[in-house]
Structure 1
Amino acid sequence: MSAITPAMVLWAYGQGYFPMAEGEEIFWLDPDPRAIFDLDTVHFSRRLLRRIRQGQFTVTYNHCCALVIQRCAERRKTWLSAAIQQTYCQLHELGHVHSVEVWQDGLLAGGLYGVTLGALFSGESMFHRVTDASKVALYYLVERLRERGYRLLDAQLLNDHTASLGAVHIPRRQYRELLQHALSQDCHFT
């Protein structure tokens, strides 16, 4: 199925599914196990914290979400089809997709974006053009989610990069329990 709408995406996230594309063909995933960042225990390396304190980067939220989505899709192989990108931009306009942008010397150095529902932030993708810029974005995302009372940071699929940042696997059953709890709460990213 290639059609995708904002309503379809929001319903799917509420059930534990998320879309991916191969070419323009869209399919829905509900992996077992699921990858998450535990907001209570995720920590960052001293080296990264030192780099953040040095003030090399400026961070903004929702400043250029469409550009972050576009940059995340600029890979040789991407799961972000044109239809998915367009839908996430529409979801941003509806207040359900948010981005964290990391700037260096006035240029977009890295960032990430994700979907929010209740106290869920489902991280979709990140990119960097400057070393550590995506890690800086994750640091500021975690800080914002903690400040705003979010309970679940979904990383969806574990890979070497997310594992190096502290993402862990949990069983689908446990993810669904955490999801239901997160959906029952009201949080605001901005």
Structure 2
Amino acid sequence: MIPWLGPESPFPPLETALTRPNGLLAVGGDLSPARLIEAYRCGVFPWFNEGEPILWWSPDPRMVLFPEELKISRSLAKVLKRENYEIRADSAFKQVMEACAAPRKGLTGTWIHPQVIAAYGELHEMGLAHSVETWVGGELVGGLYGVGLGKMFFGESMFSRVSDASKIALVHLVKKLQGLDFGMIDCQMKTEHLASLGAREISRKEFSQTLKELVHYPQRGEKWCLDHEQVK
């Protein structure tokens, strides 16, 4: 049985998560800042469709990117050297979430609905949720968002309206996190796109152990700025 979370219910142990569907741990609760922070500190994230109860997940294995393992292809390195784009952080957080929520090719529906956008908007105002954005000619063409706690970043979603725009944002995110001495980026589930950039799967046990080492550092809680020159 999957436990239902009441207002004060803690998350159950991660090892009690289902194997099918992979990682389903609990149902219910809310998306308050306190609950979301607790979830990330435990290695849990919400993922559910609009109109459904909140579903909480901790998959095994877990896709992660260690900043020092970032892979930049020769073609991407050439793109990064161009001067035709601008990189920003935390200047259009809601716009990034809304762009990530837009229907993807061949797919219908989205889990990034107004309830989720509002919840992460609160974390953004607290300086805990961040966006990294790629702009061309004053237009937002790609980006990503996620949550930073301690020295751990939890990636949530990314989008791209032009070729390589999300990859540019990810590279700048990684360089920013390296400058802040972050140790790991949670990518949640495996995709070939992330694997091509150096992300890999680790066991839930290893993820949880590394998370505990990183998440309890003092919290910065501030808006980000980025140095465009740091990836040249």
Q: TM-score, normalised by structure 2?
A: 0.78
Q: Secondary structure at the match of 2:142?
A: strand
Identical pairs, percent? 37
Q: Tell me the CA shift for residue 57 of structure 1.
A: 1.1
Post-superposition Cα deviations, 1:124-159, rounded to whole Å, max 9, x if no partner, equal: 000011110000000000000001111111101112
Q: Report whether the alignment pairs 1:22 with 2:54.
A: no
Structure 2 unaligned segments of length 5 or more: list them.
Answer: 1-27, 225-232
User: Which runs of structure 1 show a deviation greater than 3 angstroms over 4 or more consecutive aligned residues?
Assistant: 186-189
Matched, 1:36 2:68: no
**1:5 counterpart (32, 40, 55):** 32
Q: 1:176 aligns with which of 208, 227, 231?
A: 208
Task: Work out the CA distance in 2 between the residues paired with 1:56 and 1:37.
Answer: 27
Matches of 1:186 and 1:176, distance apart in 2: 19
C-alpha displacement of 1:35: 0.5
Q: Tell me the distance in 2 between the aligned counterparts of 1:58 and 1:50.
A: 15
The answer to whether the 8 A contact 2:71-2:196 is kept is: no
Which structure 1 segments of 5+ residues have no match? none
Cα RMSD (Å): 1.4
Report the Cα offset of residue 162 of structure 1: 1.6
Bigger relative contact order, structure 1 or 2, given CA contacts below 8 A and separation 6+?
1
The corresponding residue for 1:81 is: 113
Q: Is the 8 A contact 1:150 1:187 kept in 2?
A: no
Counterpart of 2:173 in structure 1 is 141
SS at match of 1:22: coil
Q: Deviations over 1:47-72 (max 9, x none)?
A: 11111101221000100101101110
- The one-letter code sitting in structure 2 at the alignment partner of 1:24 is G
Q: Report the alpha carbon displacement of residue 184 of structure 1 after superposing the two structures with TM.
A: 2.7
Mapped partners of 1:86, 1:2: distance in 2: 16
Task: State the SS of the aligned residue for 1:109.
Answer: strand
**TM-score, normalised relative to structure 1:** 0.95
CA displacement 1:48-103 (0-9 Å, x = unmatched): 11111012210001001011011101123322122111100111001110000100
Asked if the contact 1:24/1:83 (under 8 Å) is kept, the reply is no
Q: What corresponds to 2:194 in structure 1?
A: 162
Give the superposition deviation at 1:24.
2.8
Look up the SS of the partner of 2:109 in the other structure: coil
Shift of 1:172: 0.3
In 1: Cα distance, 2:86 partner to 2:167 partner: 13
Match of 1:57 among 69, 80, 85: 85
Contact 1:24 1:81 in 2 (8 A): no
Give the secondary-structure state (helix, strand or coil) at the position aligned to 2:34: helix
Specify the code of the residue in structure 1 equivalent to 2:82. Answer: Q
Q: Identify, as 1 or 2, the structure richer in strand.
A: 1
What is the deviation of 1:187? 6.0
Asked if the contact 2:69–2:199 (Cα under 8 Å) also holds between the matched residues in 1, the reply is no
**Structure with bigger gyration radius:** 2
